[in-house]
Structure 1
Amino acid sequence: MGDNNVNLPPGFRFYPTDEELVVHFLQRKAALLPCHPDVIPDLELYPYDPWELEGKALSEGNKWYFFSRKTPDRITGNGYWKPMGDEPVFTSSSKRVGMKQSLVYYLGEAPGGTRTNWIMHEYRLSNGTNSGSSSSRSSKRKGYPKIDYSKWVVCRVYEHGDDDNDDNGAELSCLDEVFLSLDDLDEISTPN
């Protein structure tokens, strides 16, 4: 884990579901409520290429987590994030609480960049999900400037194919096993 990360006790892993990222982290951030433990850092993503997230975002295995401001400009130093699609995030009681947008990182300038294996899931709140009106009233009373925290997103970035299954081993297809067994043909004695 990097400098901005909390050292969790041995055996503890940060492996949140989509629902947990939206309900337990993003909703609390948008409502100006504390997160316990406060492990996901704020990060302005777009100056950074995905391989530069180490030490800046919360890392768990090959995944990096961070809060960022929602922005239409997704250009980094060496490329850009291209949106691929949205899907809703539901609670276990089937209430829609947010949206998950999938993005792929491309090296070079848009639209002619080279696709990479870097994937980002950007989670945002559904309309009406955040309790911004009460939090903005309380922030005015305390003398804080009014900030629209509904613009926050929480991101999960990872490199596809980089131990995605978390099974610590690669599963071979039937064809892979056949081709690997062909290497052993010289060890097999054949009748004359």
Structure 2
Amino acid sequence: MELPAGYKFMPTDEELVLHLFNKVFGKPLPAEGIQEIVASKLFEKPPKSLVTWSSGEKEKYFFIRDDENIPCESEIIRIVGNGIGFWKSSGEEKPISVKGFVFAFIKHLIYFSGSFSEAKKTHWKMDLYRLPTQFYTKFQATNWELGRMRRGIDYTSCY
């Protein structure tokens, strides 16, 4: 299935959670809107090296498959490569809810280049969406997150 000419994938938080829900439960997904990646691959390179960005494009979306058996909600810092940088949570994970029913969580991350002692905050940001743990069953071994990676204005010179 191809996207129509001129189509731009700009989903809301609720639409992203719906796509994540569909991914987890094997339902149809949007055509070529979100690529799939293993968590260890996503976090082995700086964001600038992960994907090819089209002119003017500032967001990329990923279904992230957890391959490290680390509960998604407990991570505050994700080291990139051999310490060339790290993604750091910029606050508490927040629930996404409708009429009091929590159907997902969102966590905001910021990319820092360099080691902890000499870290430089960059323009790279990522939102990670996950479903509540009760949505996963013992029959479903794969934990999925959905990531929205964004680059800021100064994306030509920074990692």
Q: How do 1:51-66 and structure 2 match up within 5 A?
A: 51-55=48-52, 61-66=57-62
Q: In the alignment, is the contact (CA less than 8 A) between 2:9 and 2:33 conserved in 1?
A: no
Match 1:96 to one of 83, 90, 102: 102
- Identity %, equivalent residues: 30
C-alpha deviations, 1:83-131, integer Å up to 9, x for none? 112222234x553211110011011123541111111101111232x26
Query: Which whole-Å CA distance do the structure 2 matches of 1:159 and 1:34 have between them?
Result: 28
What SS does structure 2 have at the residue aligned with 1:98?
Answer: strand
Partner of 2:17: 22
Structure 1, gaps ≥5 residues long: 1-5, 137-146, 164-192
Of 122, 126, 133, the match for 1:116: 122
**One-letter identity of the residue aligned with 1:63:** E
Q: Give the whole-Å Cα distance in 2 for the aligned partners of 1:58 and 1:132.
A: 38
Alignment of structure 1 residues 1-192 onto 2, 5 Å: 8-23=3-18, 25-37=19-31, 39-44=33-38, 45-55=42-52, 61-70=57-66, 71=70, 72=75, 74-77=78-81, 78-85=84-91, 86-91=93-98, 95-110=101-116, 112-128=118-134, 130=135, 132=137, 136=139, 147-149=140-142, 151-161=143-153
1:38: Cα distance to partner?
5.0
**Change beyond 3 A, Cα 1:117–1:33:** same
Query: Normalised by the size of structure 2, how large is the TM-score?
Result: 0.73
Total equivalences in the alignment: 141
For the aligned residues, what is the CA RMSD? 3.0
Note the alpha carbon deviations across 1:56-107, whole angstroms, 9 max, x for none.
x99992101111134546222321101112222234x553211110011011
Query: Is the strand fraction higher in 1 or 2?
Result: 2
Cα 1:101–1:83 change in 2 (3 A) is: same
Q: Could you tell me how far apart the structure 1 residues matched to 2:100 and 2:3 are?
A: 31
**Structure 1 moving runs of 4+ over 3 Å:** 57-60, 70-73
